[in-house]
Amino acid sequence: MRKYLNSKEMNDILFTFHLLEHNSKVVNEWQNFDNLTTKEAGHLRKAITWTEKFLESVLTRLEPKEMEKVNKRTIKAMKDPVRILDKWMHDRIFGSYDTEYEIVKVERPQFEKLSLACVQAHCQDCKNSFNDCDIYDIFADNLVPRAELKHNCPYAFDSEKTIKECEEKAKAKLEAKGKVSKRKAKKNKNKFDEEDEIIEYNFTPKTNK
């Protein structure tokens, strides 16, 4: 199991949090307007309970950094709850985020070139967990596109050299399975050696009496 969420999974989690909060309001508000039967309220409460269990299960198996990322966009944003576009993402896109910190202004094409160079230098053939990487935080906060190819980190990827080596090892392993062992080859040897004109047998010929 991966210990981080890809982009779609993160959106699903955000929507699930929103649905959980919304369902809780529906139960209270609809009951106040006397427009919800006891059975209907029970169904919604069960849905709320199982949704909470689902979220708890998913979040507890994530790495701390990834859990903090989810909390930043859900729990810590309770005053500005998740809607179609959550506040954290809204601020990152529309710029109000820069009022909290000093930010170096770089045009997106330049930043992407810098990011690509950084990815190639640090993420190629990397086997470390993203949870122990400071560069991951920079990429995540600035919405750098993710490869999502390896389990250890969404930015990690294999170099062409590594891919070629893996392919060669797999090919060699496959060829090794088809090779005849020396013992078997010797057992089957009963042929004429054209070079030295020697006949080899698998048995010792009987001597003439």
Domain boundaries, the chain: 1-101, 104-180
Q: 198 - beta bridge partners?
A: 193
Q: 124 - beta bridge partners?
A: 157
The span from the CA of 124 to the CA of 147, in Å, is 11
Q: Write the pLDDT tens digit of every residue in 71-86.
A: 887 765 555 555 556 6
b/e map of 109-147 (b: 16 or more CB within 10 Å)?
Answer: eeeeeebeeebeeebeebeebbbebebbeebbeeebebe
**How far does CA 33 lie from the centroid of its chain?**
45
pLDDT band for position 192 (cuts 50, 70, 90): very low
The CB density around residue 106, as the number of other CB atoms within 10 Å, is 12
Residue 137 CB partners (closer than 8 Å, separation 6+): 65
Tokens encoding 6: 């890809």
Q: Write the pLDDT tens digit of every residue in 7-53.
A: 889 889 988 988 888 898 899 999 888 888 999 999 999 999 999 99
Q: Write the pLDDT tens digit of every residue in 160-186.
A: 999 999 899 888 888 777 665 566 665
The span from the CA of 180 to the CA of 6, in Å, is 47
Query: 12, 86 in Cβ contact below 8 A?
Result: no
Task: Please tell me the predicted confidence (pLDDT) of residue 37.
Answer: 92
**How far does CA 52 lie from the centroid of its chain?**
23
Residue 140 CB partners (closer than 8 Å, separation 6+): 69
Query: 165, 158 in Cβ contact below 8 A?
Result: no
The span from the CA of 71 to the CA of 10, in Å, is 11
Answer with the residue of higher pLDDT: 87 or 59: 59
The 3-state secondary structure of 125-183, one letter per residue: CCCCCHHHCHHHHHHHHCCCCCCCCCCCCCCCECCHHHHHHHHHHHHHHHHHHHCCCHH
Query: 139, 110 in Cβ contact below 8 A?
Result: no
